[in-house]
Structures are given as structure tokens and as C-alpha cells.
């Protein structure tokens, strides 16, 4: 096996080889235009066709209803942590948040600067190894919205269901599992996702927002952080991150060509199923997450003896299994197996994990 054969980075993360190859081939001349996509005026007909096609493909893939805006923004999920309360409070003073781990916590901290945050549910008592069951949630009918984190990239905890919040708009940080499975967009008021896991390069943020939620933001909200600015101008109020939009568009087309989100979900279930089954049966590796809350995207695991961690990582790199080190806040290992990770990569990882036990257990 060669260096860098499989890249398990949590993000920025592996992209489909076909997409990178096409980007390479078009780097100096996009479709006979004589220009790189990076060199195109964002208001020219060439780039307009790229961004319009990207939006149309995303709408088709996710089944986004016509009364939702699709926005191509910058600043990552962190910027959304502020934009969501700044724009969606709409005269209310409190919002419900579901506390499922480190990323939910960051969203909560930022929102707390703009409104009273009430925890509708918290996984803290269970060490964030499970999502609090819906029957235990305490939803506030006066909340401006309910916010949750679809997939905790660090904790490896993922919702496999959509919470019911009645008339209160549902807001989701879908950064690390967007496009990994079909999802009923009409259940949401607003979906946001940084691109650098399942979509494309870092520096692009997708926001999908229901028309009726576009309203006057808090006083002092910068023009660039008012959703209406971008909705009104079709994401072209200012220069969008054009190359990242192009790359995202290539990923969308690749997903359509490989069966859409239903097929992606089947592949993802198979990959994650293989890895979790091996971990659980190994008697050496361990994943702490409750069975029905396990992430299909990020699989954290520990070795029986943490003193072997460094040896495990070195051996993995020698086999071309890259970026398996766990997040600095979690320790241990983490295998991120987004859409673009092939089943063969998971097989290679499991093979290595077996070999490692034989040598060192």
C-alpha cells in the first residue's frame, strides 16, 4: 500500500477521486473558455451557469422545496452559530438548544450572547454517549426556534431521526452529515453546513432557509450576516467563494451519477456497520456510543491500552491509513468515513486493526 491511500480526516476530508481528476483537467481551461474557474468574474455567464447548476443539483439531490432559499456563504458553522440567533429571534428572546456534545456546546455559547438559551435536552449526564430520548425533551412553545446538531463530529453521536417541534422552527447544524442520507427538508426551518466534510473545500457554507423566516435581524447585525442580503441577491451580493462553489457542484454531480442520497446512505450504512461490528467483536477496541446513536460519519474508538495509541497511528500511516488520530479534546482514534471514503478503505482499516491485535495485544 502507498502513502496516503485512505484519508480518514474529520474535515477537510477526502473527496471523490473522479471529482479531483475533473478539477485537475479543467484547472487551466474550463469548458473551452480559456479561463480557470478561479479567474472568472462571478457575474459572467460562465460562473453564473456553474452556481445555478450547483444550486439546481443540490435542490434535486435533497428535494429542497421551492419555498426554501439555498445560500452559498462563507465563514463556516461558527459564523452560523451567531447568524442563526441574530436573524431568527424575530422579536422573541429565547431559543431551545439540544446539548449533545462539543459542537452543540459551541453553538449554545455563541447563541447565549444574543438570547436566553434553554436546554431542551442534554446528554451531559450520559457523558454525551447518547442522544436524550425525545420523550424526555422539554420544548418551550415560546422559543424562537429549536436548534440541534445532527452529527457530533468529535463525539461520534448522530441523530437518525428528526425531532418534532410543532410550530416552532427547527434549525439544524448538518455540517458533518449533510448529503450522507436522504432527509425531509420540509421538516426544517433552517439547515446549515460547512462544506469541508461531505461537500467540498473549506471556505463554503451552505444555508437552506424557509422563506417566511427571513426577517429583520437584531440591531447592529452586519449586512453580511443578514440572511436577506444573500437571499435577495442569489448569493451574489458580494463575490462568493467561486472555486469552492464549483468544487461543491462537481461533488453534487458525482452524487447524482452514483445513485443520489439513497444509494449514498446504503453505502454509508454498510461502511459504518462493518467498522462498528468489528470494533464491538474485537475485545480490544471500543466505541462508547449507545447503539442507536452511533454516527455513520465519524467513528471514535479507543484501544484497550492507550499506551499503544502512538504505535497504532504509526503503523496505520505505514499502511497508508492517514489522519486516524482522535480529536485533541477526545483522545484515542477517530475514523471519519464520509461519502467519499470507499468501502475498500474501511476494509483496509479493519484488516490493519486485526493485524495490530495479533502483534501487540
C-alpha cell at 328: 485533541
Residue 29 binds a second copy (CB under 8 A): yes
Catalytic residue, chosen from 181, 197, 271, 325, is 197
Q: Which three cell numbers stand for residue 168?
A: 416552532
The nearest distance, CB 201 to a second copy, in angstroms, is 5
Q: Which of 56, 224, 231, 274 binds a second copy (CB under 8 A)?
A: 224
Let me know if 173 is a catalytic residue.
yes
Q: Is 33 in the site for a second copy (CB under 8 A)?
A: yes
Q: Is 49 in the site for a second copy (CB under 8 A)?
A: no
Scanning 51-59, 72-80, 126-134, 299-307 for contacts with a second copy by CB under 8 A, the matching segment is 72-80
**Contact map string, positions 148 to 167, toward a second copy, x by CB under 8 A:** --------------------
| Other beta carbons less than 10 A from residue 278's beta carbon | 18
Query: Rule CB under 8 A: is residue 11 a binding residue for a second copy?
Result: yes
Closer CB to a second copy, 8 or 137, in the complex: 8
CB of 310 to a second copy, least distance (A): 15
Among 64, 115, 154, 244, binds a second copy (CB under 8 A): 244
Stretch that binds a second copy, among 110-118, 147-155, 291-299, 347-355 (CB under 8 A): 110-118
**Catalytic sites, residue numbers:** 103, 173, 197
Residues in touch with a second copy (CB under 8 A) = 2-5, 7, 9-15, 17, 20-21, 23-24, 27-29, 32-36, 38-42, 44, 74-79, 81-83, 86, 110, 113-114, 194, 196, 200-204, 218, 220, 222-225, 237-244, 247, 320, 322-323
Amino acid at each position: 500500500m502507498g502513502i496516503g491511500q485512505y484519508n480518514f480526516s474529520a474535515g477537510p476530508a477526502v473527496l471523490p477521486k473522479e471529482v479531483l481528476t475533473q478539477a485537475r483537467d479543467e484547472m487551466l481551461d474550463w469548458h473551452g473558455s480559456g479561463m480557470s474557474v478561479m479567474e472568472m468574474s462571478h457575474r459572467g455567464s460562465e460562473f453564473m451557469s456553474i452556481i445555478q447548476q450547483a444550486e439546481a443539483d443540490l435542490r434535486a439531490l435533497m428535494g429542497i422545496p421551492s419555498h426554501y432559499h439555498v445560500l452559498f456563504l462563507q465563514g463556516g458553522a461558527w459564523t452560523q452559530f451567531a447568524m442563526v440567533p441574530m436573524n431568527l429571534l424575530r422579536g422573541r428572546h429565547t431559543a431551545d438548544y439540544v446539548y449533545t456534545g462539543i459542537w452543540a456546546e459551541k453553538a449554545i455559547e455563541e447563541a447565549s450572547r444574543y438570547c436566553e438559551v434553554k436546554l431542551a435536552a442534554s446528554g451531559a449526564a450520559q457523558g454525551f454517549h447518547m442522544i436524550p430520548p425525545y420523550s424526555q425533551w422539554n420544548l418551550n412553545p415560546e422559543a424562537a426556534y429549536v436548534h440541534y446538531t445532527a452529527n457530533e463530529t468529535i463525539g461520534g453521536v448522530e441523530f437518525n431521526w428528526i425531532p418534532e417541534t410543532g410550530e416552532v422552527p427547527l434549525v439544524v447544524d448538518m455540517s458533518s452529515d449533510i448529503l450522507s442520507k436522504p432527509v425531509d427538508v420540509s421538516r426544517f426551518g433552517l439547515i446549515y453546513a460547512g462544506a469541508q466534510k461531505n461537500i467540498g473545500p473549506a471556505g463554503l457554507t451552505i444555508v437552506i432557509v424557509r422563506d417566511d423566516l427571513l426577517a429583520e435581524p437584531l440591531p447592529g447585525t452586519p449586512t453580511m450576516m443578514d440572511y436577506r442580503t444573500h437571499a435577495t441577491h442569489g448569493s451574489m451580493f458580494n463575490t462568493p467563494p467561486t472555486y469552492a462553489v464549483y468544487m461543491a457542484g462537481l461533488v453534487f454531480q458525482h452524487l447524482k451519477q452514483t445513485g443520489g442520497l439513497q444509494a449514498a446512505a446504503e453505502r454509508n450504512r454498510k461502511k459504518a456497520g462493518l467498522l462498528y461490528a468489528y470494533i464491538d467483536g474485537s475485545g480490544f477496541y471500543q466505541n462508547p456510543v449507545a447503539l442507536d446513536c452511533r454516527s455513520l460519519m465519524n467513528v471514535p474508538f479507543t484501544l484497550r491500552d492507550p499506551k499503544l495509541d502512538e504505535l497504532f497511528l504509526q503503523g496505520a500511516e505505514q499502511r497508508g491509513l492517514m489522519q486516524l488520530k482522535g480529536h485533541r479534546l477526545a483522545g484515542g482514534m477517530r475514523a471519519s468515513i464520509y461519502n467519499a471514503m470507499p468501502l475498500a478503505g474501511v476494509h483496509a482499516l479493519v484488516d490493519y486493526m486485526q493485524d495490530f491485535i495479533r502483534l501487540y495485544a
